[in-house]
Amino acid sequence: MALYAIRQPVAAGLDYLTGPWADRAIVSIDGQIQHPLALAPSLNILAGAVPALPAMDLPNWLVTHSGWLPENAPARDEVYPEDPRVWMGEGRVRLDEIAPWLAQEARVRGGRLALRPHARQILSDPHACLAFLDTHDNEPIDIALDPIAMLTPDMLSCAEDHLTRIADALIDHPRVPMVLLRNARRRGDDLLPTPVHEGELESCHLIYLAERALSAAKPIVLREAGLARQLGVLRPAGLHAAR
């Protein structure tokens, strides 16, 4: 099983990766410096003036958020604003415009675009993800599946049902090239992302997702903090760092 983490490029020995599109990279956790699997910028692609992509060749994927509104709202602690326009069509129209252009720019540089879903972003649930992929069937656009990000605080009490539905709909899809795996904890009406070994979701739910990813031969991408402890939680799924 390929295991990766989202890391700052400098911390991963990838000093040559600079600029807004490269503030995070998805790299192997086996300790060897190597070509990253993906760039994973934190910027909002719905913002009116997204930076130009770097002229260099890209990794296999450019992993971006599917976008939030208002487009200039900050996303502190990876908490995104609630805006009804996200679900009322305006957000989807804007994503339909920007994603194909960005995907073609990525293709020219040797990569594909992979959109991260989130409960407060344009691609918020399995139906939205599948509908978007169907609409853009001939575009180099994939989904970087982040099941926990698709939950809301009121969904935690039935997390098993929701995560099973998400996995059944998307984890085996040929245009889902990776599974981002994390935990979450409440802060008021928000869910803050946390590493696997922290947060409110029981380990059995995360082990289930890891086993589904393992069965589908999809790389698992963890958060950077506490990798040894995260792997300890996921060990029942047969996951371990490469040696």
Q: Cα(60)–Cα(34) distance, rounded to whole angstroms?
A: 13
Q: Are 117 and 146 in contact (CB under 8 A)?
A: yes
Rounded to a whole number, what is the distance in angstroms from the first to the last CA of the chain? 12
Model confidence, pTM:
0.94
The tens digit of pLDDT for each residue in 86-121 reads: 888 899 999 999 999 999 999 999 999 999 999 999
On the CB side of 229, how many CA atoms lie within 13 Å of its CA? Answer: 12
> Is the C-alpha dihedral spanning 202, 208, 214, 216 positive or negative?
negative
Q: What angle do CA 109, 111, 116 make, to 5 degrees?
A: 130
Calculate the average pLDDT of the chain.
92
Name the residue type at position 108. V
Name the residue type at position 233. V
Q: Cα(37)–Cα(48) distance, rounded to whole angstroms?
A: 27
Residue tagged 């086993």 (tokens): 211
Mean pLDDT in residue range 161-189? 97
Q: Cα(235)–Cα(226) distance, rounded to whole angstroms?
A: 14
Over 90: is that where the pLDDT of 55 sits?
Answer: no
Over 70: is that where the pLDDT of 145 sits?
Answer: yes
List beta partners, residue 136: none
